[in-house]
């Protein structure tokens, strides 16, 4: 919640130090406590970068709200990218697929959900259960702001009487620009697909700038307005299209989503495609602990091995993955409903075991493993309620 304080206060104080303090806080959190799901380790106290540490759901939704406020103040497309990563990974990762249960603390490397002691700084043994109000009721009250405030922040007005697309997601906007009613419909399956269609329908022709955020994770973006290609498209920036908009004007965007491999904690591999982070698809067995009205408290046991290292080419990391496109289910943030997965090669590390009911210390990468590799499936972080997200890395050509 405090992340936005300095920048918000700067609107009154006019002090540039106040304005920049929020950026410094975010940078420090990312450097010392940042996790691959876009947020930071904070199970009440800041907890470092170990992916077996947890993040409170309240932290996730409050950080999203702070970022939504900061984007309005700074107009920074990189903060919009951070908001997008949290919203499409950390937030859905904390909920059961029916949204009737949530966790107090979620872990990027979460291989067992149980009522047991973990290496939390303060929180109790029930903190990573899925349930009505595990550990404490604050997340039960607070979690509901996550999606609605995010939806309300997909589009924003600009200081020069224009509109800006902040994060791409199915949406509809009705507003007034320069005295003219404007209706915008955005049709997309983002974050799962590369294309976005935006239809602009003013009540009558009206001139205003429309800014499209070009995500930093992409390259080779194409933008066409009524079939005419646009120039000066730069990742990590806004593309400004100033023109007279007429009813039926259509913007077609294509944002390639290459598979990206980045370095995480202890040299591990973090796999992403577009705004989605990918995790090992671990078999899940849900066990009800107690009925609580229309919901219940649940433990989740793994039914398949979790202790895999990924085999990744040191010279061409992208070649180590195949993209699997399927049909989108009713709940895309679930193992069976996600329309996108990655195939990779993994080797089981038998010495990597549970410690205090969590994945033990992450082996330093690159690791040496003599076992044979097998194909493993990676799915979006938000779809995997059990997951490995920071993988030990085996380098093989």
Q: What is the pLDDT of residue 294?
A: 87
Distance CA 284, CA 335 (A): 10
Q: What is the pLDDT of residue 397?
A: 62
Q: Torsion angle of alpha carbons 190, 194, 195, 196, nearest 10°? A: 40
pLDDT one digit per residue (tens) for the chain, 397 residues: 899 999 999 999 999 999 999 999 999 999 999 999 999 999 889 999 999 999 999 999 999 999 999 999 999 999 999 999 999 999 999 999 999 999 999 999 999 999 999 999 889 999 999 999 999 999 999 999 999 999 999 999 999 999 999 999 999 999 999 999 999 999 999 999 999 999 999 999 999 999 999 999 998 999 999 999 999 999 999 999 999 999 999 999 999 999 999 999 999 999 999 999 999 999 999 999 999 988 999 999 999 999 999 999 999 999 999 999 999 999 999 999 999 999 999 999 999 999 999 999 999 999 988 889 999 999 999 999 999 999 999 987 6
DSSP state of 297: E
Bridge partners of 195?
254
Q: What is the pLDDT of residue 12?
A: 97
**Two structure tokens written together for 88:** 């499409």
Distance CA 115, CA 357 (A): 9
Distance CA 200, CA 172 (A): 10
Q: If we measure between CA atoms, which residue out of 270, 260, 266 comes closest to residue 49?
A: 266
Distance CA 263, CA 265 (A): 7
| Neighbouring residues of 156: CB distance < 8 A, sequence distance ≥ 6 | 71, 72, 163, 164, 166
Distance CA 300, CA 386 (A): 8
Which residue carries 């496109």 as its tokens?
325
Q: What is the pLDDT of residue 1?
A: 84
Distance CA 50, CA 138 (A): 25
Q: What is the pLDDT of residue 153?
A: 97
Q: Which domains does the chain have, with CATH numbers?
A: 2-149 (no CATH), 155-254 (2.60.420), 259-395 (no CATH)
Query: What SS3 class is residue 339?
Result: coil
**Two structure tokens written together for 296:** 């219940």
Distance CA 139, CA 120 (A): 17
Reduced to 3 DSSP states, what percent helix, strand and coil does the chain have, rounded to the nearest 5? Answer: 25, 35, 40
Q: What is the pLDDT of residue 219?
A: 86
CB 178 within 8 A of CB 207: yes
Bridge partners of 46?
42
Handedness of CA 139, 82, 380, 196 (dihedral sign): positive
Pairing between strand 340-348 and 308-312?
antiparallel
Region of residue 341 (left: phi > 0; alpha: psi -120 to 50; beta: else):
beta
């Amino acid at each position: 919640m405090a992340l936005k304080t300095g920048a918000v206060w700067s609107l009154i104080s006019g002090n540039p130090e106040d304005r920049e303090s929020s950026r410094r806080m975010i940078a420090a959190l990312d450097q010392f406590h940042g996790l691959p799901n876009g947020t930071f380790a904070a199970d009440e106290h800041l907890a470092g970068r170990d992916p077996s540490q947890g993040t409170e759901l309240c932290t996730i939704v409050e950080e999203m709200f702070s970022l939504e406020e900061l984007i309005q103040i700074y107009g920074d497309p990189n903060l919009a990218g951070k908001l997008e990563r949290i919203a499409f990974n950390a937030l859905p990762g904390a909920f059961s697929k029916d949204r009737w249960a949530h966790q107090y603390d979620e872990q990027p490397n979460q291989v067992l959900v149980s009522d047991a002691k973990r290496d939390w700084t303060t929180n109790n043994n029930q903190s990573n259960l899925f349930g009505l109000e595990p550990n404490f009721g604050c997340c039960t009250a607070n979690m509901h702001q996550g999606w609605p405030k995010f939806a309300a922040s997909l589009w924003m007005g600009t200081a020069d009487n224009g509109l800006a697309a902040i994060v791409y997601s199915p949406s509809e906007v009705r507003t007034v620009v320069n005295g003219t009613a404007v209706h915008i419909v955005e049709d997309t399956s983002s974050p799962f697909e590369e294309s976005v269609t935006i239809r602009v329908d003013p009540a009558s022709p009206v001139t205003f700038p429309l800014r499209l955020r070009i995500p930093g994770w992409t390259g080779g973006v194409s933008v066409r307005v009524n079939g005419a290609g646009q120039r000066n498209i730069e990742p990590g920036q806004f593309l400004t299209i100033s023109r007279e908009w007429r009813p039926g004007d259509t913007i077609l965007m294509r944002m390639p989503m290459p598979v990206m491999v980045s370095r995480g904690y202890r040299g591990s591999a973090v796999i992403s495609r577009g705004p989605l982070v990918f995790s090992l698809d671990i078999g899940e067995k849900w066990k009800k602990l107690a009925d609580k009205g229309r919901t219940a408290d649940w433990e989740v046991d793994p039914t398949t091995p979790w202790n895999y290292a990924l085999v990744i080419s040191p010279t061409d990391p992208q070649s180590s993955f195949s993209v699997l496109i399927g049909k989108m289910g009713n709940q895309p943030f679930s193992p069976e409903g996600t329309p996108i997965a990655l195939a990779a090669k993994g080797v089981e590390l038998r010495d990597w075991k549970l410690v205090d009911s969590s994945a033990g210390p992450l082996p330093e990468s690159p690791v040496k493993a003599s076992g044979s590799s097998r194909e493993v499936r990676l799915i979006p972080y938000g779809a995997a309620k059990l997951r490995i997200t920071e993988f030990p890395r085996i380098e093989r050509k």
